[in-house]
Amino acid sequence: MLTLLAVMLAASTAPDTGWPTGHLQLALKGGAALPETDMPLTMDLGGELGAMFDAPFGRIGPVVAVSYSAPAVEQPGFTLATSRAAAIVTAMALFDRLSRSGAPYLGIGVGPVLTHSHLTLTGVDRDRAEVRLGLGIVGGIAARFGPGSILFELRLLHAPSKIPDIDGITPAPLTISLGYRIWLFD
């Protein structure tokens, strides 16, 4: 563990931009998942692991982004608890050759989205789950900080459910998050 920390803190920077070099990225993120319809605001936790390769504008490569959110609706007479877990394989572009302090990034991808629904009302206690293919679009700004960068991100996930209790809804489809990305292995 200490060796990994030493490698991260000693990460070299690209001579022309000052950004950390490296081709393997690892990020942790947390934020607010905005509601669709009557679903409440909830927390969204996530992370990403990717291999990025040099490009004239910065870096480009595949990134696996995972996220989890669990909004619930409680009303007199019923409770609807939902959860959404996604693993989206994203084609990501990081434009870190444009500035020494902040760099925009964009990505689009697809992957499995597990949606779970638990409905409780008078005389009914029902669990349902499904896995659907989802579309993810991500955009944000990376601000250089230490051996990596702080992330300010907006993510859209589209995977409308066919579960009757939430038919046509993607639980927590829009997320605003903050995170930290480190770069490993020059």
pLDDT score, position 29: 96
Contact 132, 110 (CB under 8 A): no
How is residue 76 written in tokens? 């007199």
In a domain, 174, yes or no: yes
In a domain, 76, yes or no: yes
64-69 contacts at long range (C-beta below 8 A, 24 or more positions apart): 64/88, 64/89, 64/90, 64/111, 65/90, 65/107, 65/109, 65/136, 65/138, 65/155, 67/29, 67/155, 67/157, 67/175, 68/44, 69/33, 69/42, 69/43, 69/44, 69/45, 69/171, 69/172, 69/175
In a domain, 24, yes or no: no
In a domain, 100, yes or no: yes
In a domain, 6, yes or no: no
Containing structural domain, residue 33: 29-184
One digit per residue, the tens of pLDDT, for the chain of length 186 reads 433 333 333 344 454 555 666 689 999 999 999 877 677 788 999 999 999 998 888 889 999 999 999 888 888 888 888 889 999 999 999 998 877 778 999 999 999 999 898 888 888 888 999 999 999 999 999 998 888 889 999 999 998 888 887 777 787 888 999 999 998 765
In a domain, 9, yes or no: no
**Could you give the number of structural domains in the chain?**
1
In a domain, 33, yes or no: yes
pLDDT score, position 147: 80
In a domain, 13, yes or no: no
Which CATH number characterizes residue 130's domain? Answer: 2.40.160.20
